[in-house]
Structure 1
Amino acid sequence: MSTNPSDDVDRPDKPSAPATSDGFVRGLSEAIGGPLGSHAVRPEARRGRFWTAPRIILALICMTLAFSWVQKSPCQSGDWQQNVQYTRFCYTDVLALYYAEHLNEGAVPYKDWPVEYPVVTGYFMGALGLPIHAYGESHPEINQGTWFYNINAVVLSALAVATAAVILALRRRRPWDAAIFAVSPIIFFTATVNWDFLAIGLAAAGLYLWAKKHPAWAGVFLGLGGAAKLWPLFILGPLLVLALRSKAMRSWGAAMATAVVSWAVVNFPVFFWYHESWLRFFRLNSDRPIDWGTLWYIGRYLDGKWNTGAAGDQGPFQWLSDHVPTLNLVSYALFGLACAAIGLLAWLAPRRPRVAQLAFLVVAAFLITSKVWSQQYVLWLLPLIVLARPRWGAIIAWTVAEFGYFTAFYAELMGANGKPVIPEGTFVLASTLRLVTVVILCGLVIREIWKPELDAVRQSYDDDPDGGPLNGPDAPWIATLRRTFRVDRSPAAPPAPVDPPPPTDQTVVKV
C-alpha cells in the first residue's frame, strides 16, 4: 500500500454512494427502501457489467442534451413570429448572431465585421459559419441558419459531454456527483443559448490537467478558455493563493506562463491586423449600462421605489446607472475586495481549501458584483459547484431559483415592446431570489472550508482530488499567520505529568 497521499487520491477503491453521503438523497431513498446496505453487492463490484456508473452518467447527459435540442427546435428555422422565441423559451444567440454578425453573408469575423466576443469564440463562429455559407451559396434550398445552429449544437453538446467526463475523472470515488451536472435543468434550458460550453470545456480540461500534475498544459487550456470567455483566467487566482500556501509556486508559474502565452498567441493576429475589431469586446463591456437581473439592477429598482423626494433626487444605484465609468470602477473594486477576502480565507482555513471551492467562490463573486449577468452565465457555476459542494438539496433550490429567473426574464423580453407581461416587481423578486441562492451556496462552501470535517468530498479523499501539485504540507508561514489572527484551532498540548512529591516524615503511608 502506497504511503504517498497523492497516490491515495488517485485510487478509486472507495466509491461513495449518494444515499449514504448526501442527506437529501438519503431522505428520498426512503421511498424505495432506504440507502444501500453495508453488505449489499455494489454495482461497481459486478465484473463485466455494462451499465457502470460513469456510463450511466454519460448516457444521462446525452439524454438531457437531446431533450434540450428538441426544446430549442421551434426556433431552429429562424422564423421568429409572434415572439415564439420567448413563448417557447427557445431563444438562442447562436442563431440570432449568425445573421447579426453577418456570417450569413460570408463576413470573416474581425476582418469583415467586428465580432463582439473574445477571439477564440469568434474563430469558432467563423470556422463553423463560413463553410455553411459557402455550401449554402451552391445549395440555396438549405436554411443556412438552421444548419449553423445544429452544427453548433452538436459541437457544444460534445463539449458538455467532455465536461461531464472530466467531472467523472476527477471524482472516481464519487461518480454519482456528476449526475447533478448530467441531469441539470440548467443544461436543458441553456446549453446552446450561447457558446459558453466552449470556454467551459477548455476550463474543465485545464482543471483536469492541473489535477494530473501537468501545470504547463493546464495553463494552455485555461489561457485558451480565457480567450473564449474571460472567466477561466480567474481560476489562476485560486491556484496562486493555494500555491503560496503549499509551496508549489514553480507549478503555478508554469501554468501562468503558458496561460499568458496561449492567450497572447491566439489574440495576436486579430490584435495586430484588426486592432479596432479586437477592441470591440473590451469597449462593449466597458460602455454597457446596468444589465437586467444584476445586483445593480435590483438596487436601481429599489432606488426608484424608496426615493420619494424631489424630482431631481437620485439614489446611489440610479446615480451609478447614469455614470457608467464610475460603476465600472465600483464593480471592479468590489470584485477585488471579494477576491482578497477569499484569499485570506484560503490562508486562514484549518486545512488547505480545495481548488474547486475557491474557483467557485471567485467566479460567483464576479457574477454577484458584475453589471452584466446574462442568463447563460449560470453554466459557468454549474460544474464548479458540483466539484466544490456536491450536495443535491442546495443545488436543487438554486436551480429552482434560476428557473424562476429564466421564466421571468423571458416574460420581461416579451413585454419589452410596450405591453408588460408581468409586473416589474415580479422580475426583480426573481432576480433577487437568484442572487440570494448564489450567495447561500457561497456561504455553504465557505462553511465547509472553515469546517473541513463537513466537506463531503474530503470524506472520500485524503486530500484534494483536484489539487495536483498542491497536495502536500503547508508552508511554515501559514501557521504563523493563523496564530497572528488567533484562528489556530489545533488542540493544545496536554500538560506534562507532575511527579508526586517525595514522602516526608509526616507522610502517613497506608498499607
Structure 2
Amino acid sequence: MPSAEETSEDRERPVAPTRVDEIAAAGAESIGGPAGRFARFGGGPLTAVRVIALTAIGVFALGMVQKLPCYNWAWFRGSSSQYTHACYSDIPHLFVGRGFADGLLPYFDRIGGDMQYLEYPVLTGLFMQVASWLTLTPDSDPVQQREQMYWLVNAGLLMICAVVTAVCVARTHRRRPWDGLLVALAPALALTATINWDLLAVALTAAAMLMWSRGRAVAFGVLIGLATAAKLYPVLLLGPLLVLCWRAGKWRPFLVAAFSAAAAWLVVNLPVMLYAPQGWKKFYTFSRERSIDFGSFWLVITERTGRPIEVSVVNTASVVLMGLCCLGIAALALAARRRPRFAQLAFLVVAAFVLTNKVYSPQYVLWLIPLAVLARPRWRDFLIWQTCEVLYFLGIWMYLAYTTSGEKHLGLPQDGYQLAIVAHLLGTLYLVALVVRDIVRPDRDGVRQDGADDPSGGVLDGASDVFVLAPMGTRDFDEEEFWGEPAAWGAASGGRPGD
C-alpha cells in the first residue's frame, strides 16, 4: 500500500501481489512467505516474465497430460470414454472431418457431407493448414497415428500462444508483472487450451492490449484485425475504445487503430473472399444458422419450458440483448465519476457477448481469462470464477457421457447439466458485478490503489476528460485530493487493498 513517505522511485517499483492480496500472501507461505520490506525485484535470471512463461509452459503441459486417455485410445473408439475422461478435443476429429488428412485446401475444396466447407475464420483456417503441413507422418501411416501427430503439432503451436498471452498480460501493467501469473496458473487454461484453436485469437488480442498500453495505435489495430480474422469476438474491443476516446477527446489514435484493424482484416480475408467466396462465407452462415447449443442460458430456457425457440428469434434476441448491454456499458463509461480503465470495459463487453450468445463452448473461457486478469487482478475473485468454469467444464462432458452412453449411471443428467450452466453464468456475472463496482467506486479498484490511472490505456492514461455525462457515484469526495495523492488509497479503501 503506498504511503506518504514513499519516493517517486518507490512508486515505480513492481507491485508484489503478496503484499496487497491476502490469497497471494497465503499461497506464498509454501515458497518462503510474502515479499519483505527490503525485497529487491528485477534482479537475477528469474525475472517475473520468465517465471510466468515457464509456469505457463508447465501448466499447459499438465493440460496435455490430462488429455492422455483420449490421446492413447478414447478419441479413436467412438465411445463416450472421451467424455467420461473429460479429454475431448476437436483437433484430431477435424483433421479427418475437414479434409486435412486428405490434403484438401480449406475454403477452396469442398469437404463433402453437411458442412461442405471449413466453418472457421480465415486466419484460424490458415493455422489449421500450417499445422497440417507440419504433421510430417506419411500418408501410409494409420489414420490414428496421423491424428495423434496433428494434435501434438497443434498443441505445440497453441502452447506458444498460451505463453504469449501470459507474457503480454504481465507486461501490459508495467508495475504489476506478477498479474500474468493468474493467466499462467488458470485451471481453465490447462483444461481447455487444446480443445480448439481459440488461443490464437486470445494471444493476438493480448498482444494488441499490450501495444495499446504502449501508445502504439497502428500495432494495436493490426493485431486486433488479425485476431478478428481468427475469431469474431476481438472486434468488440473497438467499442469500449471508441467510448473512452470519445470521453478523453482522443479521436486520432482511435481512428488510426480502427483503420489499421480494418486493413489487417481485409489483407487476410480478401484473397479468400475473391477466389473462394462460398468457402469464405461458411463461417458466417454457419454462425447465423446454428441452433441453440450447449452452455447458453437459451438452452436452459428451452429445456425448462419444453418449448423450442426458432433460430431467427434467438439470433434477433441475442443481438438486441447484446446491444442493450453495450449501451449500458457505454453509459457507465461516460457517466462514471472517474473514466474506467480500458481493460475493465474490454472485459465487460466480451463477457456480455459470452453471456448473451446462443452457444458457450467450454474453451470460450479462454477469451475472458486475460481480460479478467487485467480488469480485476484479485486472486480470490479470479479463483471463484475459475471454480465455476471448471464445474462447467466437467458438467458438459459428464452430460455428453450421460447422453451418449447406454449406461445411465455414467455421467450427469439434464438437470445436473443445467446447474453447471447456471454455475458458469453466475461465476461470470459475479466477476462482472465486481468490475462494475470498481468502476463506480474506483477506490475499490486494486490497480488504481497503487496510484495508477489506466496502465493499459496508452494515450488514455492520465488524460483529461472532454465529454462526460452527469457524473455518477456512491458518495462525494474531493477527486483532486483523492487522485493526486496515492496515499489516499489506503484511507479510502479502509486499509484493505482491493477488498
- Whether the TM-score (by the shorter chain) exceeds 0.5 is yes
State the match for 1:189 in structure 2.
Answer: 191
Query: Does 1:118 pair with 2:129?
Result: no
CA apart distance, 1:218: 0.8
Q: 1:20/1:141 Cα in 2 relative to 1: closer, same or farther (>3 Å)?
A: closer
**Share of identical aligned residues, percent?**
38
SS for the counterpart of 1:162 is: helix
CA apart distance, 1:354: 0.8
Output the CA distance in 2 between the equivalents of 1:26 and 1:66. 26
CA apart distance, 1:183: 1.1
State the match for 1:474 in structure 2.
Answer: 464
- Contact preservation (8 Å) 1:136, 1:142: no
Output the CA distance in 2 between the equivalents of 1:158 and 1:357. 26
1:108 counterpart (105, 115, 122) = 105
State the match for 2:449 in structure 1.
Answer: 459
State the match for 1:503 in structure 2.
Answer: none
AA aligned to 2:429 is: V
State the match for 2:412 in structure 1.
Answer: 422
AA aligned to 2:288 is: S
Output the CA distance in 1 between the equivalents of 2:479 and 2:160. 53
Which residues of 2 match residues 22-421 of structure 1 at below 5 A?
22-26=21-25, 35-38=34-37, 41-44=38-41, 47=43, 49-76=44-71, 78-113=75-110, 114-130=117-133, 132=135, 136-137=138-139, 143-304=145-306, 318=307, 321-417=308-404, 419=406, 420=408, 421=411
- Contact preservation (8 Å) 2:334, 2:467: no
AA aligned to 1:69 is: M
Q: 1:373/1:140 Cα in 2 relative to 1: closer, same or farther (>3 Å)?
A: closer
State the match for 1:308 in structure 2.
Answer: none
CA apart distance, 1:24: 3.0
AA aligned to 1:90 is: C
Report Cα offsets for 1:386-424 as digits up to 9, x if no partner: 111011111111111111111111111112236443221
Q: 1:492/1:108 Cα in 2 relative to 1: closer, same or farther (>3 Å)?
A: closer
SS for the counterpart of 1:90 is: coil
AA aligned to 1:143 is: Q
State the match for 2:20 in structure 1.
Answer: 21
Q: 1:424/1:15 Cα in 2 relative to 1: closer, same or farther (>3 Å)?
A: same
State the match for 1:445 in structure 2.
Answer: 435
CA apart distance, 1:471: 2.3
Runs of 4+ off more than 6 Å: 30-34, 138-142, 485-488
Q: 1:432/1:137 Cα in 2 relative to 1: closer, same or farther (>3 Å)?
A: same
Higher Cα radius of gyration? 1
Q: For structure 1, which runs of at least 5 residues remain unmatched after alignment?
A: 1-7, 305-317, 494-511
Report Cα offsets for 1:254-306 as digits up to 9, x if no partner: 010011111112111221111111121111111111112211112223324xx
CA apart distance, 1:82: 3.7
State the match for 2:5 in structure 1.
Answer: none
- Contact preservation (8 Å) 1:14, 1:460: no
AA aligned to 1:159 is: C
- Contact preservation (8 Å) 2:440, 2:474: no
Q: For structure 2, which runs of at least 5 residues remain unmatched after alignment?
A: 1-7, 111-116, 481-499
State the match for 1:497 in structure 2.
Answer: none
Quick check: 469-478 or 422-431, which moved more?
Answer: 469-478
Output the CA distance in 1 between the equivalents of 2:477 and 2:101. 64
- Contact preservation (8 Å) 1:76, 1:145: no
Q: 1:461/1:264 Cα in 2 relative to 1: closer, same or farther (>3 Å)?
A: farther
SS for the counterpart of 2:349 is: helix
Q: 1:108/1:401 Cα in 2 relative to 1: closer, same or farther (>3 Å)?
A: same
Output the CA distance in 2 between the equivalents of 1:394 and 1:492. 27
CA apart distance, 1:12: 8.0
CA apart distance, 1:137: 2.9
CA apart distance, 1:372: 0.9
CA apart distance, 1:19: 2.4
CA apart distance, 1:79: 2.2
- Contact preservation (8 Å) 1:482, 1:488: no
Output the CA distance in 2 between the equivalents of 1:33 and 1:142. 47
- Contact preservation (8 Å) 2:212, 2:220: yes
Output the CA distance in 1 between the equivalents of 2:105 and 2:19. 54
CA apart distance, 1:28: 5.2
SS for the counterpart of 1:322 is: coil
AA aligned to 2:82 is: Q
Quick check: 25-34 or 164-173, which moved more?
Answer: 25-34
Aligned-CA RMSD value: 2.5
Q: 1:106/1:141 Cα in 2 relative to 1: closer, same or farther (>3 Å)?
A: closer
Output the CA distance in 1 between the equivalents of 2:337 and 2:62. 44
Report Cα offsets for 1:331-365 as digits up to 9, x if no partner: 00000110110011011111111111000000000
CA apart distance, 1:52: 2.8
- Contact preservation (8 Å) 1:68, 1:188: yes
- Contact preservation (8 Å) 1:364, 1:438: yes
- Contact preservation (8 Å) 2:402, 2:413: no
CA apart distance, 1:469: 1.6
AA aligned to 1:64 is: V
Output the CA distance in 1 between the equivalents of 2:187 and 2:315. 32
- Contact preservation (8 Å) 1:87, 1:410: yes
Q: 1:492/1:290 Cα in 2 relative to 1: closer, same or farther (>3 Å)?
A: closer
CA apart distance, 1:55: 2.1
Output the CA distance in 2 between the equivalents of 1:177 and 1:240. 26
Q: 1:142/1:405 Cα in 2 relative to 1: closer, same or farther (>3 Å)?
A: closer
Output the CA distance in 2 between the equivalents of 1:405 and 1:486. 35
- TM-score normalised over the length of structure 1: 0.85
AA aligned to 1:70 is: V
Q: 1:400/1:147 Cα in 2 relative to 1: closer, same or farther (>3 Å)?
A: same
Q: 1:348/1:192 Cα in 2 relative to 1: closer, same or farther (>3 Å)?
A: same
Output the CA distance in 2 between the equivalents of 1:75 and 1:492. 57
- TM-score normalised over the length of structure 2: 0.87
State the match for 1:309 in structure 2.
Answer: none
CA apart distance, 1:229: 0.4
AA aligned to 1:84 is: S
Output the CA distance in 2 between the equivalents of 1:287 and 1:250. 38
Report Cα offsets for 1:57-106 as digits up to 9, x if no partner: 22111110111122223323542354332122221111111111011000
SS for the counterpart of 1:476 is: coil
- Contact preservation (8 Å) 1:402, 1:434: yes
